C-alpha cells in the first residue's frame, strides 16, 4: 500500500532522522548494522561514510547503536562507483562462474562506527570467535574497500592485522599507513601524503611563496600530513608564519575555535594558507572568512580539492584563490549512465540509495518554511531537493542526472580501480580462464592479500600496480578553482610527477589576487637579487639582503652564502660574476707613454744637436770657458738618463725594473759630477784663501778622477742596492675595491737603496750649488756660476716635488718618476748647455784676464784711488784700484799671450804677493793684450 501526502512525508522524514533506516535490536542481521548488501560467491566489504557524523557522540555513555546524521553525497558517490564496478565485473563474466557480492557499512566519519561495521563483516556463521590461529579464518567478506579517512583506516587496519584481511583504500593517504610493520594488510591505490606534501611544498617554491600559515585537523591524517609538510617546506625554502589546529569532529564548541583560527589568519601577514582539513571544517572556516570579507590564497589537500559542496558555497568567490592537488581522475560513461538510472542490485538492498532518493524526490514543502520541523534535513541537504519533487508519487522509482551534474564523477576513478585490482587478484588466485575458475572460492583472506600485492593490470589507459609499501605511485593533478558565475569550477593547471618529484604548471593562469596572469608574490622578505645574499633574521625566510663582499659573488637570487671567485678573477662588492682583473701599466699605445717617448726622443735629438754645436764651436771663447770635454761627458750622462725613461714603458719585468734605475742613477750622477767639477773650478779660481788652504784645494782638483770617483760611488751604491734589496715586480695585491691589477716595479722591500741613490745625486747637486753660490759674484763672462746655480735649483725643485708625488701616487709611480727624470734632464739642457750654444752662435768675445781681474778687484777690494782700465777688445770700464795690505788670488793655470792666442807652456801662477807687486803686474798688463782660458 502506498502512502500519499503528509503521511508519506512524515514517514520518510523519520527515515532521514534515523540515518540507518532499520534499527532493530537483533544483531544477527547484517542489515541492522550495514546499509547495503548484495549476495555473491566472494563478498567485498565497503567502508565509506554515507553520513557525516554520529549524533551525540560526545554524550554517548552506553554502547547503544550509532545514530548517523547529515547525508554525505561525495562518499555516497564513491560507494555507488564500487557497487557499479562489482556489477560490471559480474556482467562481463570477468570471473567465470564466480559472482561478486558486497556488504557496505556506513562509517559516519567515526572510527568506532567503522569498527562496529567491520565486526559485522568478519562474522563467520553470524558470530566472531576469538581463536589462537587465524590462518584458516574464512569470513564472508574477503577484502574491505575503504575507508575514506585515514583516521578510520588506521583504526580498522589495526584490527585487520589480526586476521590479515586485505584492506584497499582509494583515499586514505596518511604516511603512517605505508609502514608495513604496523599495517601489513593495508594497501591503497593512491600515494601517501609524503608525496602530496612534497608536491605542495614544490608548488609553493615554484610560485615564490615562502611565508605561509597552516591549519590542520587534530586527527591522524591532519597531524601526520602537517609534520610531513614541515620537513618538505624547510627543504623548499618555505617558512611557517603560524600553525593552528582544529578539532576534526564537528560539535558545538567548534564555532568558537573556528573564530579564533580565523582571527589568527586575518591578523597574520602570511597571505598563503594551507588547509589540511576535512571539507566540513573548511566549509566552516570559509563561512567565517566570507563574513569578514577576508581573502587569501588557500592551498587544498586531496580531501577537499574538488569538493563540489565547497565550490557551490554562497560567496565562495570572496575568499580568494584556491589551489590543490588531486589524484588521477578519469571519466566513465557507463558509470554516469548507471547514476542516471540508479537502482538497487537485484537480490540485495541499499538503504543509502533509498535515503538519497527521498532527499531528492520526496515532497516536503514544510522543510522550506521559516520554521521547519525538527525532522527536516539541513539547509545544505535541502539543496538536493528536486524542483519537481512534489510531482512524484513514489520517490524510489524516480531518477535524474543530478549526481552527474552536481558531483565530479571523474574523482571516483581510483575507487573503481580498487575494485578492479581486487578482481584481478581474485582472477589470479582462483586460477580463472575464459570459461571457469578452478580455485577454492571460500579461501582465507590472507591469500588474496598475497595475490593483491603482485597484481598488475591496465585500467582506462592507466597502468596499475603497487610498490613494496602497498602504494600506487603515479602523479597528482594541480587544480585551480576558477570563477564560474557566482560559484567555482575546477581547472587542471598542472601536474606533479611522484617518481621524478617534478612539477609542471601552466603559466597562463588568471589569479583573483592580481586580477590577471601575474603570479602573486607572497614572501616574508623580498627576494635578494643576484649580487647579494640573505642575512637570516628569526626564521630563514625572513632576512635582510646584504651585498657580497669583494672577491665573492652570487649569480642567483636568494642565495645564503656568496661564492668565492676562482683564481685570477675578482668581483667587486655586489657583483653577480667574477671577471679577470685588467692589467695597468704604461702601454706603448696609451697617450701618456706616447708623450713621454716623444719627449725622450726630442731630448736625445736636442742633445745631439747640442753636441754638434759644441764640437763645431769648440775653439770659441764661450766653449773654452764651458769646457767642451766636460760638457760632452755631461751630454753622455743625460743621454743615458733619457734612455732610462724608455725602460719605464711596456709591461715591466724584473730586468727592466733594475735597468731603468741603474741607467738613471749612473747617467745623471755622471752629469751632476761634471757640473760639480765645473763649480769647483770656478770656486778655486776666484775665491780668496790662505796659502796652505789653497795648496790643499789645488791638489784635490783632478777633474777626470773626480768625475770617475763620484760616479763610481753611485755605482757601488747601485751594486749594493741590486744585491741586498733589488728592484722587482711589486707584489702588493690590488685593492679589493679595484678591478685593475697594477703591474709596476717595486724599488725594493725597504726602498732604502732607492732613497740612498736619489740622496747621493741630491748631495752632489747641493754641493755644486753651494760652490757655485760661493762664486756668485764672479763676473758671468768668465764663469758658469749662474747656469750652475739655476740648473741645480731646477733639479732640486723637481725632485723635491717628486718625493711627495711619488709617495702619494703609488699607483702612478712609474709615470711620476719618468716625468721627473725628463724634467730634471731638460732643466740641465735648457739651463746649462743651451745658453752656451747661444753664446757660441752669437759670437761673443771673451774678456781679457786683466779686465776680469780688475773687475774682481773692484768688487772685492777697498775703495781707493781708482785707475782706468781700457782694453781695445772690451768696452771701456772703470775699475777702482785696490788698496790693501794683502791680497791673495788663487787660480788655476793662467795663460797670457800678446798675440791673442794661448799656449799652455807659457802659463804662470799668480802666487800670494804684496800689493806693490800686484800693482806692477797690473801695469805690465796694460801694455799687453791678453787672453784668458781656464783649462783642465
* pLDDT tens string 836-863: 788 778 764 444 444 445 554 554 444 4
pLDDT of res. 518 = 86
Residues 169-188: what's their mean pLDDT?
93
Render pLDDT for 77-97 as a digit per residue (tens, 0 to 9): 999 999 999 999 999 999 999
Question: Strands across the sheet with 141-146, in order?
Answer: 186-188, 167-169, 141-146, 42-48, 100-106, 36-38, 349-350
pLDDT of res. 216 = 94
| Residue environment code for 355-370, b if the CB has 16+ CB neighbours within 10 A, otherwise e | bbbbbbbbbbeebeee
Beta bridge partners of 913: 887
Question: Strands across the sheet with 502-505, in order?
Answer: 239-246, 211-217, 272-276, 297-300, 322-326, 475-484, 487-497, 502-505
Q: Is the pLDDT of residue 23 over 70?
A: no
pLDDT of res. 873 = 33
Q: Is the pLDDT of residue 21 over 50?
A: no
> Residue 320 — pLDDT band, cuts 50, 70, 90?
very high
C-alpha grid cell for residue 84? 557499479
pLDDT of res. 200 = 95
| Residue environment code for 138-176, b if the CB has 16+ CB neighbours within 10 A, otherwise e | ebbbbbbbbbbbbbbbbbbbebbeebbbbbbbbbbbbbb
Q: 3-class SS at 341?
A: coil
Residues 242-260: what's their mean pLDDT?
83
> Residue 888 — pLDDT band, cuts 50, 70, 90?
very low
Render pLDDT for 510-548 as a digit per residue (tens, 0 to 9): 888 888 888 888 888 888 899 999 888 888 888 889 999
More confident call, 844 vs 364: 364
pLDDT of res. 770 = 82
Render pLDDT for 570-582 as a digit per residue (tens, 0 to 9): 999 999 999 998 8
Give yes or no for a contact between 818 and 645, defined as CB atoms under 8 angstroms apart: yes
> Residue 778 — pLDDT band, cuts 50, 70, 90?
low
pLDDT of res. 690 = 52
Q: Is the pLDDT of residue 272 over 90?
A: yes
pLDDT of res. 504 = 92
pLDDT of res. 805 = 77
Residues 316-341: what's their mean pLDDT?
94
Render pLDDT for 36-66 as a digit per residue (tens, 0 to 9): 999 999 999 999 999 988 888 777 888 888 8
Measured distance CA(780)–CA(847) in Å, rounded = 10
More confident call, 183 vs 540: 183
Render pLDDT for 450-496 as a digit per residue (tens, 0 to 9): 999 999 999 999 999 999 999 999 899 999 999 999 999 999 999 99
Supply φ then ψ for residue 797, to 5 degrees.
-60, -45
DSSP string, 914-928: EHHHHHHHHHHHHHS
Render pLDDT for 426-438 as a digit per residue (tens, 0 to 9): 999 999 999 999 9
Measured distance CA(129)–CA(141) in Å, rounded = 15
pLDDT of res. 528 = 86
Q: Angle at the Cα of 594 (from 588 to 596), degrees rounded to 5?
A: 115
Residues 575-591: what's their mean pLDDT?
87
Query: Mean pLDDT score of the chain, rounded to an integer?
Result: 81
Element (H, E) at 142: strand 141-146
User: pTM of the entire structure?
Assistant: 0.62
- Residue 473: exposed, middle, or buried by beta-carbon count in 10 A (0-12, 13-18, 19+)? middle
pLDDT of res. 747 = 83
Within 10 Å of residue 236's Cβ, how many Cβ atoms?
Answer: 16
Sign (positive or negative) of CA dihedral 526, 530, 535, 539: positive
- Kindly report which listed range (61-65, 270-274, 802-806) carries the lowest average pLDDT score: 802-806
Maximum CA pair distance of the chain? 181
> Residue 702 — pLDDT band, cuts 50, 70, 90?
confident
Report percent pLDDT > 70 for the chain: 83
Long-range contacts of 334-339 (CB under 8 A, 24+ apart): 334/84, 334/88, 335/81, 335/84, 335/409, 335/412, 335/416, 336/404, 336/409, 338/80, 338/84, 338/87, 339/77, 339/80, 339/401, 339/403, 339/404, 339/409
pLDDT of res. 676 = 86
pLDDT of res. 337 = 95
Render pLDDT for 741-758 as a digit per residue (tens, 0 to 9): 888 888 888 888 888 988
Give yes or no for a contact between 498 and 191, defined as CB atoms under 8 angstroms apart: yes
Q: Is the pLDDT of residue 4 over 70?
A: no
Q: Select the highest-mean-pLDDT range: 129-138, 244-253, 516-525.
A: 129-138
CA distances from 238 to 201, 209, 222, 321, 503 (A): 7, 7, 19, 19, 16
| Residue environment code for 781-810, b if the CB has 16+ CB neighbours within 10 A, otherwise e | bbbbbbbbbbbbbbbbebbeebeeebeeee
pLDDT of res. 10 = 36
pLDDT of res. 198 = 94
More confident call, 316 vs 684: 316
Q: Is the pLDDT of residue 727 over 50?
A: yes
Measured distance CA(141)–CA(406) in Å, rounded = 32
C-alpha grid cell for residue 762? 741630491
Measured distance CA(608)–CA(494) in Å, rounded = 87
- Taking alpha carbons only, the member of 525, 29, 52, 82 closest to residue 278 is 52
Amino acid at each position: 500500500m502506498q502512502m500519499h501526502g503528509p503521511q508519506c512525508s512524515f514517514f520518510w522524514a523519520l527515515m532521514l532522522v534515523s540515518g540507518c533506516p532499520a534499527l532493530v535490536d537483533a544483531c544477527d542481521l547484517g542489515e541492522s548494522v550495514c546499509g547495503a548488501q548484495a549476495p555473491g560467491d566472494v563478498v567485498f566489504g565497503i567502508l565509506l561514510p554515507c553520513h557525516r557524523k554520529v549524533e551525540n557522540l560526545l554524550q554517548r555513555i552506553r554502547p547503544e547503536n550509532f545514530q548517523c546524521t547529515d547525508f554525505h553525497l561525495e562518499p555516497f558517490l564513491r560507494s555507488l562507483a564500487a557497487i557499479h564496478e562489482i556489477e560490471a565485473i559480474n556482467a562481463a563474466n570477468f570471473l567465470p562462474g564466480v559472482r561478486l557480492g558486497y556488504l557496505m557499512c556506513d562509517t559516519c566519519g567515526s572510527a568506532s562506527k567503522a569498527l562496529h561495521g567491520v565486526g559485522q563483516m568478519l562474522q563467520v556463521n553470524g558470530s566472531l570467535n576469538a581463536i589462537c590461529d587465524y590462518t584458516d579464518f574464512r569470513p564472508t567478506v574477503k577484502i574491505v574497500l575503504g575507508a575514506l579517512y585515514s583516521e578510520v583506516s588506521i583504526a580498522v587496519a589495526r584490527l585487520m592485522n589480526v586476521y590479515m584481511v586485505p584492506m584497499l583504500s582509494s583515499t586514505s593517504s596518511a604516511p603512517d599507513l605505508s609502514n608495513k610493520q604496523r599495517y601489513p594488510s593495508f594497501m591503497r591505490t593512491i600515494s601517501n601524503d609524503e608525496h602530496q606534501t612534497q608536491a605542495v611544498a614544490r608548488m609553493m617554491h615554484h610560485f615564490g611563496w615562502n611565508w605561509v600559515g597552516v591549519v590542520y585537523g587534530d586527527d591522524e591524517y591532519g597531524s601526520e600530513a602537517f609534520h610531513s609538510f614541515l620537513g618538505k617546506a624547510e627543504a623548499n625554502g618555505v617558512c611557517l608564519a603560524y600553525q593552528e589546529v582544529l578539532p576534526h569532529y564537528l560539535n558545538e564548541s567548534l564555532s568558537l575555535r573556528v573564530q579564533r583560527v580565523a582571527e589568527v589568519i586575518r591578523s597574520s601577514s602570511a597571505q598563503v594558507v594551507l588547509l589540511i582539513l576535512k571539507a566540513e571544517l573548511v566549509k566552516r572556516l570559509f563561512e567565517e572568512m566570507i563574513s569578514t570579507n577576508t581573502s587569501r590564497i588557500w592551498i587544498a589537500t586531496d580531501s577537499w580539492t574538488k569538493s563540489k559542496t565547497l565550490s557551490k558555497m554562497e560567496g565562495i568567490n570572496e575568499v580568494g584563490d584556491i589551489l590543490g592537488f588531486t589524484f588521477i581522475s578519469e571519466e566513465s560513461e557507463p558509470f554516469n549512465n548507471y547514476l542516471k538510472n540508479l537502482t538497487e542490485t537485484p537480490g540485495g538492498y541499499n538503504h543509502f540509495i533509498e535515503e538519497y532518493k527521498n532527499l531528492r524526490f520526496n515532497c516536503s514543502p514544510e522543510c522550506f518554511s521559516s520554521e521547519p520541523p525538527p525532522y527536516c534535513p539541513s539547509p545544505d541537504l535541502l539543496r538536493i531537493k528536486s524542483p519537481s519533487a512534489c510531482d512524484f508519487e513514489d520517490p524510489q522509482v524516480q531518477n535524474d542526472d543530478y549526481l552527474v551534474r552536481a558531483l565530479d564523477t571523474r574523482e571516483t576513478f581510483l575507487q573503481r580501480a580498487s575494485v578492479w585490482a581486487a578482481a584481478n587478484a581474485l582472477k589470479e588466485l582462483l586460477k580463472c580462464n575464459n570459461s571457469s575458475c578452478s580455485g577454492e572460492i571460500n579461501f582465507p583472506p590472507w591469500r588474496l592479500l598475497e595475490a593483491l600485492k603482485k597484481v598488475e593490470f591496465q585500467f582506462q589507459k592507466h597502468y596499475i600496480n603497487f610498490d613494496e609499501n602497498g602504494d600506487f605511485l603515479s602523479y597528482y593533478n594541480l587544480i585551480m578553482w576558477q570563477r564560474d558565475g557566482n560559484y567555482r569550477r575546477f581547472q587542471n593547471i598542472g601536474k606533479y610527477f611522484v617518481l621524478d618529484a617534478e612539477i609542471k604548471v601552466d603559466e597562463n593562469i588568471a589569479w583573483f589576487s592580481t586580477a590577471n596572469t601575474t603570479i602573486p608574490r607572497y614572501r616574508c622578505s623580498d627576494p635578494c637579487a643576484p649580487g647579494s645574499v640573505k642575512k637570516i633574521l628569526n626564521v630563514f625566510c625572513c632576512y635582510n639582503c646584504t651585498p657580497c663582499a669583494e672577491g665573492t659573488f652570487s649569480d642567483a637570487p636568494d642565495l645564503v652564502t656568496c661564492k668565492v671567485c676562482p683564481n685570477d678573477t675578482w668581483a667587486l662588492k655586489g657583483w653577480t660574476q667574477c671577471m679577470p682583473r685588467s692589467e695597468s701599466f704604461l702601454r706603448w699605445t696609451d697617450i701618456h707613454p706616447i708623450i713621454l717617448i716623444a719627449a725622450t726622443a726630442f731630448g736625445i735629438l736636442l742633445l745631439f744637436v747640442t753636441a754638434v754645436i759644441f764640437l763645431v764651436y769648440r775653439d770659441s771663447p764661450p766653449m773654452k770657458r764651458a769646457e767642451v770635454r766636460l760638457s760632452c761627458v755631461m751630454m753622455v750622462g743625460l743621454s743615458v738618463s733619457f734612455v732610462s725613461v724608455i725602460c719605464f714603458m711596456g709591461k715591466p719585468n724584473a730586468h727592466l725594473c733594475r735597468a731603468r734605475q741603474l741607467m738613471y742613477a749612473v747617467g745623471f750622477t755622471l752629469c751632476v759630477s761634471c757640473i760639480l767639477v765645473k763649480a769647483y773650478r770656478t770656486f778655486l779660481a776666484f775665491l780668496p784663501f790662505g796659502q796652505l788652504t789653497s795648496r790643499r784645494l789645488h791638489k784635490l782638483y783632478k777633474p777626470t778622477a773626480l768625475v770617475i770617483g763620484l760616479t763610481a760611488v753611485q755605482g757601488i751604491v747601485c751594486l749594493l742596492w741590486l744585491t741586498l734589496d733589488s728592484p722587482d715586480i711589486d707584489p702588493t695585491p690590488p685593492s679589493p675595491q679595484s678591478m685593475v691589477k697594477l703591474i709596476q716595479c717595486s724599488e725594493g722591500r725597504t726602498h732604502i737603496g732607492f732613497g740612498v741613490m736619489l740622496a747621493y745625486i741630491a748631495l752632489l747637486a747641493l754641493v755644486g750649488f753651494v760652490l757655485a753660490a760661493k762664486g756668485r759674484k764672479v763676473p758671468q763672462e768668465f764663469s758658469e756660476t749662474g747656469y750652475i746655480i739655476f740648473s741645480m735649483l731646477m733639479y732640486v725643485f723637481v725632485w723635491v716635488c717628486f718625493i711627495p708625488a711619488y709617495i702619494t701616487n703609488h699607483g702612478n709611480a712609474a709615470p711620476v718618476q719618468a716625468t721627473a727624470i725628463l724634467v730634471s734632464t731638460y732643466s740641465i739642457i735648457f739651463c746649462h748647455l743651451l745658453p752656451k750654444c747661444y753664446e757660441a752662435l752669437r759670437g761673443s768675445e771673451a774678456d781679457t784676464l786683466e779686465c776680469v781681474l780688475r773687475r774682481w778687484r773692484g768688487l772685492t777690494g777697498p775703495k781707493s784711488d781708482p785707475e782706468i782700465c781700457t782694453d781695445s777688445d772690451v768696452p771701456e770700464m772703470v775699475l777702482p784700484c785696490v788698496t790693501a795690505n794683502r791680497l791673495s788670488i788663487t787660480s788655476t793655470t793662467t795663460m797670457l799671450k800678446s798675440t791673442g792666442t794661448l799656449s799652455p807652456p807659457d802659463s804662470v801662477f799668480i802666487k800670494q804677493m804684496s800689493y806693490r807687486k800686484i800693482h806692477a803686474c797690473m801695469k805690465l798688463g796694460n801694455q799687453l793684450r791678453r787672453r784668458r782660458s781656464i783649462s783642465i
